[in-house]
Amino acid sequence: MKFDSTVTISIVLAIVALVAPSITAIINNKHLEKMKKLEIKEQHYKNNNLHIRGMFEQFLTDYGKYMANQKYSDLENLKGSFYSLLPYVPQKDLPVFQEFFDLLVTREAANSEEIIVKKVIPTITKIIGRL
């Protein structure tokens, strides 16, 4: 049996023409799947950063309200904000926040102002900058 080269080439091209779209679709789907995973990861990262930033902003807002009114209810809100952001404060920065909180609990608001301006706000800025 003798093979004609034109027929052989035609058969090979026909098989490749049938298989190529399937291979292209598989490669394309894998790429789209990877891109979707990256998008989801990026969105999660953005949402997490916004959440953490919002917690620190709420903490500072609650501190401002407490300093303006010196009401017990404002102090309770500030304590809640303080405890909710503690998991996001690095271990090495916890003493600064603890010193600040101790002054609040003992109701030494005037002294807490100096600490928040000189220590707490720069620490918050550092934490947010690392996000």
- Tens of pLDDT, residue by residue over 27-38, are 999 999 999 999
The length of the chain is: 131
* All residues at 6 or more sequence positions from 128 whose CB lies less than 8 Å from its CB, including other chains: 52, 53, 56
Residue 39 domain-assigned (yes or no) = no
The dihedral through the CA atoms of 58, 75, 79, 123 has a sign that is positive
Claim to verify: residue 123 and residue 101 sit in the same structural domain: yes
Residue 64 domain-assigned (yes or no) = yes
Claim to verify: residue 17 and residue 72 sit in the same structural domain: no
> What domain count does the chain have?
2
How do residues 107-127 score in pLDDT, each as one tens digit?
776 777 778 888 889 999 898
Claim to verify: residue 22 and residue 68 sit in the same structural domain: no
For residue 91, pLDDT beyond 60: yes
Claim to verify: residue 51 and residue 20 sit in the same structural domain: no
Q: Tell me which residue range forms the domain holding 5.
A: 1-30
Average pLDDT over the chain, rounded to whole? 88
Decide: residue 36, CB within 10 A, 0-12 exposed, 13-18 middle, 19+ buried: exposed
How far, in Å, are 70, 75, 101, 102, 104 from residue 108 at the CA level?
11, 12, 10, 9, 6
Place 3 in a pLDDT band, splitting at 50, 70 and 90. low
